[in-house]
Amino acid sequence: MEQQVCESQFILQQKEFYEDAAKYWEKIPATVDGMLGGFGFISQTDIIGSKQFLKSLFQFPGLLPGRNYALDCGAGIGRITGNLLTKYFKTVDLVEQNPKFLEQAKLYLKNSLHRVGQFYSIGLQDFCPEPGKYDVIWCQWVLGHLNNNDLIKFFQNCKQALKSTGLLVVKENVTSSNVVEVDKEDSSITRPHSDLLTIFEKSGFKCIKEERQYHMPDGLYPVYMFAIKPCDN
């Protein structure tokens, strides 16, 4: 229970929160197994679930008609870009704070580099994407590295970066309780399902579809996918 602490207490050390996360990832190998915390074997299951979810979003009338630009947030070595986003979008930009991972991404994505656009080496708490550019902004297993205030600010920046027909997709672990849980090893938090929905609303988004990722190993957090769009679109 030591890790289950109030987020408001934890983010008092905001500077350390982000610095400790950066230090943790500096020690992680630039491999699929490293990106997935030693669970590299779940990558195919994860991608299959994401493909099914993304393809279901193409069925929504008036959404994602062009599929020109996608943004992969917390892109790591490009696992999601290469195995998912470049299959459906003409150009994919990557944002990842660790430059070592982005260098490896250029090798990992060698067969799809013709569909890769910009590489942004910056933390999401400081990233402001280009306005009106993206059809889809994909955020997976990275938002636990942002405190609530910075997450809301990031979502609001994303709101401006989406085309009027665009969507933001969030794929994250959620806690099985109503308690925010803190992992001090990688300096991240895992939020309850209800907290994520509240943050979407505070950021000016509404959830139009959600789905649980199945066939994950026992003992891991539940994983949910959310498609959210700006409330005024």
What pLDDT does residue 13 have?
A: 65
DSSP label of 15: H
What pLDDT does residue 3 have?
A: 44
What pLDDT does residue 63 have?
A: 93
Closest listed residue to residue 64, CA positions, set 140, 117, 138:
138
Distances (CA, A) of 209 to 102, 179, 194, 225: 31, 24, 15, 8
**Cα 74 from Cα 94, distance rounded (Å):** 8
Q: What is the pLDDT of residues 86-116, one digit of tens each?
A: 999 999 999 999 999 999 999 999 999 999 9
> Which residue ranges make up each domain of the chain?
7-230
CB-CB contact of 91 with 67 (8 Å)? no
Q: Which residues of the chain have pLDDT under 50?
A: 1-5, 8, 10-12
Q: The pTM is what?
A: 0.94
**Cα 192 from Cα 2, distance rounded (Å):** 17
Annotated binding site for S-adenosyl-L-methionine: 74, 79, 124-125, 140
Annotated binding site: 74, 79, 124-125, 140
Pairing of strands 205-212, 223-230: antiparallel
What pLDDT does residue 24 have?
A: 97
How many other CB atoms are found less than 10 A from the CB of residue 195?
19
Where helices occur in 89-232 by DSSP H, the ranges are: 99-108, 148-161, 193-202
What pLDDT does residue 212 have?
A: 98
DSSP H or E run through 220: none
CATH fold, domain 7-230, is: Rossmann fold (3.40.50)
What pLDDT does residue 233 have?
A: 72
Distances (CA, A) of 158 to 50, 115, 136, 180, 226: 20, 21, 10, 24, 15
What pLDDT does residue 4 have?
A: 46
